[in-house]
Amino acid sequence: MNALEIDAVWKYFGDFPALRDIGFKVTPGSVVALLGRNGAGKTTLLRILAGLAKPSKGSVKIHGSDVREEATRRRIGVLGHGISLYDELTATENLVLFGKLYGLDDAEKRAHQWLERTGLERVRDGLVREFSRGMRQRLAVARTFLHDPEVLLFDEPFTSLDDRAIAVLQSLITDAQSRGCTIVMSTHQLREAIELATHIALIRKGQLAYAGERRQEMLDDPAWLYRTFESESAS
Amino acid sequence: MKQEAAAKQIAPSASLRETWFSFLSQTLTIAGKDLRAEWRTKEALNASLAFSTVILVLFSFALDPNPEMLQEFSGGLLWLVFLFAGALVLNRSFAREMQNDCLDALLASPVPPAGLFLGKTLANYALLMTLEFLCLAEFGLLFNVRWLGAVGPLMLVMALGTWALTVVGTMFSALTVNLRLREVMLPVLVYPMMVPPMMAAMILTTDLLAGNALAGNMLWVRVLVGFDVIFTLLGVSLIDTVLVG
């Protein structure tokens, strides 16, 4: 069974088609780099994959189930543009909150493990509003991985992260890959994304310009992808 | 064989019980989170309490509180204060989730949208009831009204009327959360919807403060109960469409 099945997905905002007939499949354990220029539709597609928006047409299945089913959502971890943490709660309270919402029996234990893993154990009782930007980002990473998701969806995960947070996230992504997790991440950091990915999906103006395995040409010259497939789809 | 059959019978009910327990636990977790956040900041409660105090004090200067007049306007005045001050609490409900994109994390989690809605409604209900008790005490002092004699029926009317305000307000708070003018839009949308339950609550409160029994006004109690049930069911069933589209 495929980890992700995106079938003829269209998304309209008013009359404007932000996504046009997007369709591809992702096998379990794949790392998909979702590439495209600003406004191409990457975030819209990721929001549909995360169940945060519904497609106007078409369907999305995760491990064969609808993404809005509760059981499916337990298997997904989402790291979006925002940190999705409450400023008025402490680091521990934030993680315990999400642990409980994901139905973890050992939410407190798991929260402490992840605080330690992300280097935040020392400030576990501090309010998030008092944290530095880097600490907030590491806590957001901990929140994403807290429930051991099988499918990870990242929207520009490395943008505006500090060095320590990048190192934490990279090691967690590598670890998740080795455990067979499926990862989909949108990014503008072409070289890093292509190095990390097993598959590439390139979106151009809401349409899929390329979806398939990573090729040697992409590793040799990341700009080759845009040169080759964006111009092809344009013509 | 008998044991197997019994196990088969027990399994669905156990699973159903687990589902309900999980739903209840998630709902209470959401409510607890909202109350804890409000307790730390007190932004909605402080603003609404200050606002309601100002209205009550101004009305105590503007109106001559003789017993006959009080009988006429007590219910109306109280519920208008609850309605205006309540909008300040309800406005913050989903707006709080926009900070740091927290709503996305909640929607991506396995919490059913109905659980999210009911959790937020419960937290708002607790905040509004607290606010209303404080307002009622202020009202008694400023207007020399002795409401303790009818405290039981009065609590019932407050509980029913406040649930109506909370459930409609929370629903529209979700609907207007992405609007730039949500502070204005929420009252504009909620107040017209609140005409039937507010009429009922005002009439019942005025009668109770005048010393009449609740038994003579059961039609208005039924209006409140009916409104509460219908709008709770509507909220629970429509919240997914409102939040996810």
pLDDT at B14: 64
Of the two residues B145 and A110, the one the predictor is more confident about is: A110
pLDDT at B1: 47
Chosen from A68, A84, A136 to mutate, greatest number of chain B CBs within 10 A: A84
Residue A143 with chain B: CB contacts under 8 Å: 105
pLDDT (tens digit, 9 = 90+) per residue, B65-86? 677 777 778 899 999 999 999 9
Closest chain B residue to the Cα of A52, Cα to Cα: B244
Q: Work out the average pLDDT over A79-105.
A: 95
User: In this complex, do A88 and B41 lie within 8 Å of one another by their Cβ atoms?
Assistant: yes
- Listed by number, the residues of chain A in 189-208 with a beta carbon closer than 8 Å to a beta carbon of chain B are none
Q: How far is CA A56 from the centre of its chain?
A: 21
Q: How far is CA B26 from the centre of its chain?
A: 19
Give the ipTM of the model, two decimals please.
0.91
Residue B30 with chain A: CB contacts under 8 Å: 101
In angstroms, the CA B87 to CA B165 distance is: 9
Name, in order, each residue with C-beta under 8 angstroms of A138's C-beta and a sequence gap of 6 or more.
Answer: A118, A119, A120, A164, A165, A168
Q: How far is CA B221 from CA B154, B204, B214, in A?
A: 11, 8, 8
pLDDT (tens digit, 9 = 90+) per residue, B50-67? 999 999 999 888 877 677
Q: Which residue has the tokens 């809005």?
A: A68
Buried b / exposed e across B172-202, counting CB within 10 Å, b at 16+? bbbbbbeeeebeeebbebbeebbeebbbbbb
- In this prediction the pTM is 0.90
> What is the domain partition of chain B in residue ranges?
2-244
Chosen from A60, A78, A100, A151 to mutate, greatest number of chain B CBs within 10 A: A100
Instruction: Please enumerate residues of B whose Cβ is less than 8 A from a Cβ of A.
Output: 22, 25-26, 29-30, 33, 36-37, 40-41, 99-102, 104-112, 240, 244-245
pLDDT (tens digit, 9 = 90+) per residue, B142-201? 888 888 888 899 999 999 999 999 999 999 999 998 888 888 899 999 999 999 999 999
- Listed by number, the residues of chain A in 118-157 with a beta carbon closer than 8 Å to a beta carbon of chain B are 127, 143
In angstroms, the CA A92 to CA A123 distance is: 9
User: In this complex, do A98 and B100 lie within 8 Å of one another by their Cβ atoms?
Assistant: no
